[in-house]
Amino acid sequence: MEAELSPPPGGLQLASVAILDKALIAAADHAARYWTSADPGPLRPGTEAHTRAVAHMFRETFNPYKPTVIDWPHLDVEARERLISLPIWDIAVQTEGKARIRMLAYAHSLADPLWRESIELNGWEEGRHKMVLANLVAAYGITLEPEPPYPPPQNTEWAYLVTGFSECIDSFFAFGLFALAERSGFFPPELVETFEPVMQEECRHILLFANWLAWHRRTITWWRRPWFEVKVAAAWLFLGWERIGLARGMDDGQDGRGKPQDNNFTVTGSKAVTDGDVSIPDLLTLCLAENDRRFAGYDTRLRRPTTMPALARLALRFMGRKQPIPSGTAS
């Protein structure tokens, strides 16, 4: 775990003491959630206008919070126990560490300076998430397993694909679970509020990934495209397999010391953040609503991740649940 956070790439500024000012925090939070390109034309993936807009979006929605100045709120005994008993801390820290190195490795393999800069900043933000989590566990006395090394990936594109789709799956459910935790009052509002910028940052990350995917599909040579689609399908199969537990012990599924990691937190998570049982249709409906809410502030000409919302709507239809009305334009 790095003791100090290096500055973000691209000359972006980290706020330190000044970010403690409430008005500045509110302005940074607003800037991270709302962004529309000044370019009035269409933003078709593969065009220079689209690439430029995505790079501007990612840079201008950067939230300059500094993990070391986060003031972790006091928790009563029960809330602290609930937090400590969540089975996620080891995998959460390690996932951020892996995401960081994979994103940086892929960014550095790119020739296009705008995509390289955006994905590099994304990787840097994963390192910051890791530091936020490290500070959180230290503040509440949560003990972590020793961390494994994070070697750079051999196949940078595959590693980025798996990381990006993995974030699309995890963020979709995390949005709903986070809202559930907020509503249940299981954790004090100050703690939920403190963690909120990290959740919105994951929304930005999968927005960037969806637009990278669309750009990549348009710009790779026609003869590489079928193989790329095979890799996309393989990434989904791998992640689905991992999440139903069959892949435990392979790559991300186990920490190498025989301790199972909870890649299925969503299944048990709703019970962990609320005192009542939440039905699967209710949880999916909430995930969809939160997903729409978090993306609503970004330029509707940019692509959104669509697979998880589509799967959730399909599942709800099978369960006989009335479909929530989607907001914004997804593609």
Point out which residues bind Fe ion (CB under 5 A): 96, 126, 129, 167, 202, 205
Minimum CB separation of residue 129 from Fe ion in Å reads 4
Minimum CB separation of residue 97 from Fe ion in Å reads 10
Please identify, using beta-carbon distances, which residue of 32 and 316 lies nearer to Fe ion: 32
Tokens of 314: 């399909």
Please identify, using beta-carbon distances, which residue of 202 and 290 lies nearer to Fe ion: 202
Minimum CB separation of residue 212 from Fe ion in Å reads 13
Please identify, using beta-carbon distances, which residue of 126 and 242 lies nearer to Fe ion: 126
Minimum CB separation of residue 167 from Fe ion in Å reads 5
Tokens of 156: 């940078």
Provide the 10 A C-beta neighbour count for residue 248.
Answer: 16
Minimum CB separation of residue 54 from Fe ion in Å reads 16
Please identify, using beta-carbon distances, which residue of 167 and 290 lies nearer to Fe ion: 167
Cα–Cα distance measured from residue 169 to residue 59, given in angstroms and rounded to the nearest whole number: 24
Tokens of 11: 């000359």
Cα–Cα distance measured from residue 14 to residue 23, given in angstroms and rounded to the nearest whole number: 16
DSSP 94-145: HHHHHHHHHHHHHHHH---HHHHHHHHHHHHHHHHHHHHHHHHHHHTTPPPP
Please identify, using beta-carbon distances, which residue of 184 and 200 lies nearer to Fe ion: 200
Distances (CA, A) of 292 to 45, 66, 80, 259, 277: 21, 27, 31, 36, 24
- Eight-state DSSP code of residue 244: T
Provide the 10 A C-beta neighbour count for residue 65.
Answer: 22
Minimum CB separation of residue 317 from Fe ion in Å reads 29
Q: Which amino acid is at 228?
A: F
Please identify, using beta-carbon distances, which residue of 96 and 262 lies nearer to Fe ion: 96
